[in-house]
Structure 1
Amino acid sequence: SEDVAADPNIQLTWMPDADSAIVGVIDSGIALSHARFRRIDGGTRFLSAWLQGGEWRSGAAVPFGRELFRTEIDRLMWRASVGGAIDEAAFDRAAGLTQFGHARGDRRLENNATHGTHVADLAAGFDLSDGSFDEARRRLPIIGVGLPPRTSMGANGNFLEFFAIHAVEYIIDRADRIWKACGYGPDGGFPIVINLSYGLKAGPKDGHMLIEEVIRAATEKSDEIGRPIRVILPAGNDLMSEGVAEFALPDDRPVTLDWRIRPEDHTPNFAEVWSEQISGAGGSGPAHPLTAVVRLPLGPGSPAAAGRAGQMTTLTDDADPETPLARIYCRKHDNKPPGGTGDPAWHRVGYYLCTAPTLEEDRMAGAPSGRWTIEVAGKGKNSDRAHAYVQSDQTLTFGSVTGLLSTFDHPDFRPVDYAGRAIDVYDYPIDGVAPTLTDLPPPITRRGSLNAIANNDAVRVIGSYRATDGKASVFSSAASSEPVGDGRAAPTALLPGVDGAARFGVMAAGSKSGSAAAMQGTSFSTALATRRVALAMLEWIDGDRNGQAPGSEGWFEITASDEDADADWPGQVPEIKGGHGRMTRPGTGRLPR
């Protein structure tokens, strides 16, 4: 739009020193006025923040949402001050973080804890009363991006990738503009460590989703100028979600997979079926080498013909042929980078299976709940293996549980053992015996549950372990035993995501100053990894930037291997689940539990 400014009006009453490193946080519900993110003088450590779900202002240098620089954040904090303390709820409303005036407005910060504040605290929060953190607090300013509510990203995260791409590019752009505004010269820039504790369950998982290509291009460009950019993502919490199937296809015989869709689901359900790599570009509409038939519970099925990229077919009930209950879309995917020249070396074709919500309302007919069936068959070349995934499914309204995740089902799959304990990929013997593979047999598997946007070598991927005994968290996702294309064969490393068997999650900031909460998951292990890298980056800067910058895959390999060995944990974690090993948590200034 012509109303979008080409250059932002950078407003900083305090400029970061040249020996600083930027911590970028991309998340939801980040409490900008929280005391853990303030300087010693009471001002904010956020250099800028982009609220993607905020109200856009004419002349802003962002295409949507609301951008605030430090000066405006400080001014809003001062206006919300009462008796020397900040009324943080009033600040949230004034800044547009909390939107009571919109039916679907963001109100996450009105809860006792939020994902984004918890992550930001673990990644870059400091206690104002602890003088030992003064140097790190001064030298680790923050650039934040608040992702919009689920009403914008979709219950299945359909548009997460595009908001996240904008967020990554925003953090890098603003960091570079601030470097130049500080007068540090046209070359170089602040080292940047970006925490993106989000992900998707389904996708091609070959390292070439658009966001993965954007991150790869950004990190390669930064390496050329000697300014490191590190992007750190979670492995995911989906190992037990029963949403991954990887299986061989016998000739002329379909493999049947049950897809269980729950009743009273307010949101659509999605699953994907992907081919193997196929050499060459494939043209504009390549045929899928597999056929995928979707059958309603006790109802008809879709055509058995192989689809072509760009095609779509609709599944209806015989009793009401005008009402769509499900659709199958066919899409091409390849390894050509965005803006690249020449033809891709290979392509793949994927089926996107989508059902209507099972909740029946007056304005629409609900899809039937129960056991849907997916039959996958292959004929000829490139049809000997298939990959199927259930996509994320969350409620559009924060705090509601009306978005119900579907699962795959198969008679050979066992989610728990005979004692009722969840089955992991491997067991965890504590007597020095090597772990035994427990993820048997196909087609449903726990392997391949890694975050779909975290499958290339340009990002660091962090899983979780239990701090008391080093056991990998059972929810922490694992890589595929046979990754496709350039997909990852393992996460990068593990950091604590659970304090202990009787101590849920890890402690960090609640949504308001002075509060704390425990949250569990690889998102918070990722934030601890971000903190480790950011603090190590300051040491690297102090050492005249000699040697490899912290946060590379090699740095994690050395650090995790050494710390895992030094910890002398009672058991081992296989690489497919634990990567290079288990790292110790950095100090956050909180009392140990």
Structure 2
Amino acid sequence: MSQDLRWRPPAPAEARDPYLDWSLATGWAGQPPSRLPLWVPLLAPRGAAWDAVLDRHRAEGHAFASPWNPPDTGWGVLWVRAEHVAAAARDLPGSEMSQPQAFQSPPDAPLRLPARARKAPAVVVAAIDRGGAVLNDAFAHRARPKETRLLGFWDQAERPTQDAWLRPSAGYGRELDGPTIDALRERARHDPQGELGVYRDLGLRELLLAHALGQPDHATHVLDTLAGLSRRPPLAPSAKPSDDDAAAGAPLVLVSVPPSRMGQSTGTATVAQVLDGLHYVLALADAHAPEAPIVVNISLGLLAGPHDGSSALERAIDDLMQRRPRLLVALAAGNNGGDRLIDPGKGTNAGGRLAPGAEATLTWRLQPGDPTDSFLELWAHALGKTAPDLRLRVIAPLPSEEVAMNRQCDLLAGEALAARLHSQGLDGDRTLRAQLSLAPVAGPRGCLPAGGWVLGLRNAGPEPLDVDARVQGDLPRWTEPEPVQSVLAGAVGLELGAAGSMNGLATGALPMVVGAARVSDGRDTLYTSQPKPRGPARQRHRIDARATADEGAFAPGLVASGVTSGSWVRMGGTSVAAPVAARHWANRLAKGQLPEAPDQWLLFLQPPKLAE
């Protein structure tokens, strides 16, 4: 805190993903010091620009497309060397940086696809999640209990650590195919520690920890809820049916996306890895059952983002569902509906309408001892025919000059970048995206004061503006039980909570979005996220279905499998509601027929009956 802190005058802003912009401007300082990225994944639109970037960089080994990218899709995953990612992002408008991780270039392992099924299954079911106790009997065939129903498991987080793991086809993570899982299950039957001994040998430490603490493994609970065998005798309150159904006989695919890396605080999410996982699911399902419908559950989420379906991952999923009428994606609505019930001064979003000439302020509170970078996003949409002219400035604790669209203002701590207020126009300047990015309060890079940072907003244009502000989630929570998550503590001229609390991945046009209800009375849980109550039609979120996730108001969660076969644990949240609904839909699809068009899933599935 002894460094000289000073704002530079506003200057032109780079038109690119602000999280990539911050990473480049800080020299990747938000990455763990011992693991600076060599490769950066981009989620990017495909077309002539994509082809040109690949042609320019592939020959020198500077960029590689994921081998799981289908040939007929509008979006794909591209890995670019860190020193070339700025140029690649500039040439790929609309691309977004994903969380960097270890990558083997070139990705030269073969694509491992299952054999075509002798008897075509009625439906294929998959989950993209975190974790996965793949040896669990819940994922076996009822009639052939020594055989798994899993066609493949892709753990994207770690490199192979033991001979049983297969080299990853995409250049990162590690894989298991069905025959390998069967061999490991047989090995577990002879291991003194059973499945836990095999998980130990495989290096799946998170599974061992969850089991030791009696806690759920997220992906295991979700996949069992989605398509696990029924338990005999059944347990109440169970997240799955008491008798086997079509989903209990379906082939399965599981993808475990990486958690936020310890020490990584760039604000980036694993959006490219999620899309790569979805492409992996499609490849395995198409090889095994080319005519079967595919139901994919994604119980993952984000706090920030545009929340209007325009994020790169949401557009990519919409594009994929439009091109693949057999594909149904179910998404959890999110669990932030009650984030201000406990403390009204701990919000994650704010919103409102600014009349011409109107001003507003937001108080954004940084936590003492926070060693992570912090990010506050602002989105302004024009309600008339002119571009949004929203002017921004930091009022306290360190006042800045006002910043207009396509400009930025930097705060320096000595020679190091401590903050950037960045604003840019999108959609032909019909939408303004701004972001205040801050360096840590504490730790080796700590240089900023904790407490309230006050941001001023002014509508300098002739027409009203619809404005949303959202805090990016701060993970991992390094200093638990001490909080590190920054929060919106106050608003004047805008309203805390008025931007809606929906999952930032769940505002696309085609996926089915599921909120959480209670078994006891069928009412919404207090935490289930709620749509934005106001704004233009393109920003009005929806929840397509409500499904049970808690036994009651004072009995949270539903029962599904723990880490080891035969064990059980409770878990709640919309992460449970989504697979409850998705299982219902998988059983419906197993009876035959599809909607007439990809935008008619809601009418076809009639989800309002789920909560009855």
Flag whether TM exceeds 0.5 (same fold). yes
Rounded Cα–Cα distance in structure 2 between residues aligned with 1:525 and 1:548: 25
C-alpha deviation, 1:250, in angstroms: 3.6
Task: Give the CA deviation at 1:4.
Answer: 2.6
The structure 1 residue matched to 2:156, chosen from 41, 52, 61, is 52
Q: CA deviation at 1:124?
A: 1.1
Residue type matched to 2:304 in 1? A
How many angstroms apart in 2 are the aligned matches of 1:38 and 1:153? Answer: 38
- Counterpart for residue 502 of structure 2: 450
1:82 aligns with 2:163: no
Distance in 1, matches of 2:512 and 2:611, equals: 14
Residue 566 of structure 2: aligned partner: 514
Aligned partners of 1:546 and 1:323: how far apart in 2? 55
Contact 2:382–2:388 (CA<8 Å) still a contact in 1?
A: no
Number of matched pairs: 488
User: What residue in structure 1 maps to residue 516 of structure 2?
Assistant: 464
Counterpart Cα distance in 1 of 2:517 and 2:110: 44
Distance in 2 separating the partners of 1:366 and 1:107: 35
Which of 259, 277, 280 is the matching residue for 1:170? Answer: 280
Residue 437 of structure 1 corresponds to none
Alignment-derived partner of residue 124 in structure 1: 227
Q: Name the structure 2 match of 1:198.
A: 300
AA in 2 matched with 1:369: A
Q: Match of 1:92, SS?
A: helix
Match of residue 316 from structure 2: 214
- CA deviations 1:396-446 (Å, max 9, x no partner) are 66x95556222212378xxxxxxxxxxxxxxxxxxxxxxxxxxxx952125
**312, 315, 328: which is aligned to 1:230?**
328
For residues 536 and 467 of structure 1, the distance between their equivalents in structure 2, rounded to whole angstroms, comes to: 22
Residue 374 of structure 1 corresponds to which residue in structure 2? 455
Alpha-carbon spacing, 1:507–1:469, altered in 2? closer, same or farther (3 Å) = same
Q: Structure 1 residues 457, 488: closer, same or farther in 2, change over 3 A? A: farther
**How far does residue 234 in structure 1 lie from its aligned partner after superposition?**
1.1
2:379 is the alignment partner of 1:274: yes
Structure 2 CA distance for aligned equivalents of residues 314 and 109 of structure 1: 47
Tell me which amino acid in the other structure corresponds to 2:150: F
Please, which of 5, 28, 48 is the counterpart of residue 130 of structure 2? 28
Partners of 1:292 and 1:407 in 2: how far apart? 19
One-letter amino acid matched to 2:131: G
Specify which of 176, 179, 182 is matched with residue 68 of structure 1: 176
Q: Deviations over 1:461-490 (max 9, x none)?
A: 111112212221111111112344633442
Per-residue deviation, 1:371 = 1.2
| Alpha-carbon contact 2:355-2:464 (below 8 Å) kept | no
Paired residue type of 1:75: A
Residue 394 of structure 2 is aligned to residue 294 of structure 1: yes
Counterpart in 2 of 1:583? 611
Change (3 A) 1:30 1:370: same
* CA positional deviation for 1:170: 1.4
Give me the whole-angstrom Cα distance separating, in 2, the residues matched to 1:550 and 1:65: 34
Q: Which residue of 2 aligns with 1:386?
A: 467
AA at the equivalent of 1:314: D
What SS does the corresponding residue of 2:351 show, helix, strand or coil? Answer: strand
Q: What amino acid does structure 2 have at the position aligned with 1:26?
A: I
User: Contact conserved, 2:129 with 2:298, CA < 8 A, in 1?
Assistant: yes
CA distance in 1, matches of 2:369, 2:158: 31
2:146 counterpart residue number:
42
In 2, Cα distance between equivalents of 1:147 and 1:153: 17
Which of 488, 494, 497 is residue 408 of structure 1 equivalent to? 488
Q: Which amino acid aligns with 1:553?
A: L
Structure 1 residues 194 and 381, CA, compared in 2 at 3 Å: closer, same or farther?
farther
Equivalent pair of 2:352/2:498 in contact (CA under 8 Å): no
1:18 is the counterpart of 2:120: yes
Matched position secondary structure for 2:604: helix
Range 28-37 or range 251-260, more displaced: 251-260
Alpha carbons 1:390, 1:407 under 8 Å: kept: yes
Quote the offset at 1:153 in angstroms.
Answer: 11
Cα displacement string for residues 302-333 of structure 1 (whole angstroms, at most 9, x for unaligned residues): 3212141xx543224xxx54454322233444
**Runs of at least 5 residues in structure 1 that lack an aligned partner in the other structure:** 101-105, 180-187, 335-343, 413-440, 564-581, 585-593
Q: What pairs up with 1:340-351 in 2 under 5 angstroms?
A: 347-351=430-434
Q: 1:114 to 1:81 in 2, by over 3 A?
A: same
Quote the residue 1:260 is aligned against: 365
Instruction: Report the TM-score when normalising by structure 2.
Output: 0.72
Displacement of 1:111 = 4.8
Matched residue SS, 1:67: strand
**Judging changes above 3 Å, is the alpha-carbon distance between structure 1 residues 194 and 333 closer, same or farther for their aligned structure 2 residues?**
farther
Q: Which residue of 1 aligns with 2:9?
A: none
Task: Identify the range of structure 1 (49-58 vs 488-497) with the bigger mean alpha-carbon deviation.
Answer: 49-58
Q: Secondary structure at the match of 2:268?
A: coil
Q: CA deviation at 1:11?
A: 5.1
1:23 touches 1:124 (CA, 8 Å); kept in 2?
Answer: yes
C-alpha change, 1:550 and 1:274, in structure 2 (3 Å) is closer
Residue in 2 aligned with 1:567? none
Q: Partner of 1:540: helix, strand, or coil?
A: coil
SS state of the match for residue 350, structure 1? Answer: strand
Instruction: Give how far 1:375 is off.
Output: 1.0
The 3 A distance-change label for structure 1 pair 232 and 522 is same
Distance 2:546 2:414 in 1: 51
Q: For 1:118, what is the secondary structure of its paired residue? A: helix
Shift in CA distance, 9/117, structure 1 to aligned 2, threshold 3 Å: closer
| 378-387 vs 35-44, which moves further | 378-387
Deviations 1:32-60 (A, max 9, x none): 11121122322221111111012158964
* Unaligned ranges ≥5, structure 2: 1-63, 65-104, 235-241, 340-346
SS at match of 1:79: helix
Deviation string for 1:488-528 (max 9, x for gaps)?
44211111122112211222222222222222211110110
2:204 corresponds to 1:97: yes
CA 1:211/1:246 → structure 2, altered by over 3 Å: closer, same or farther?
Answer: same
Please give the alpha-carbon distance, in whole angstroms, between the structure 2 residues aligned to 1:167 and 1:59.
16
Offset, 1:372? 1.2
Q: Equivalents in 1 of 2:256, 2:424: separation in Å?
A: 30
The partner residue of 1:142 within 252, 255, 266 is: 252
In structure 1, distance between residues paired with 2:248 and 2:532: 41
- 1:99 CA drift (Å): 7.8
Q: Give how far 1:376 is off.
A: 1.0
Give the CA deviation at 1:264. Answer: 1.7
Residue identity matched to 1:141: P
Percent of aligned positions that are identical = 25
Distance in 1, matches of 2:146 and 2:231, equals: 9
Do the aligned partners of 1:118 and 1:508 also contact (CA within 8 Å) in 2?
yes
CA distance in structure 1 between the partners assigned to 2:254 and 2:511 by the alignment: 19
CA contact (8 A) 1:31 1:109 kept: no
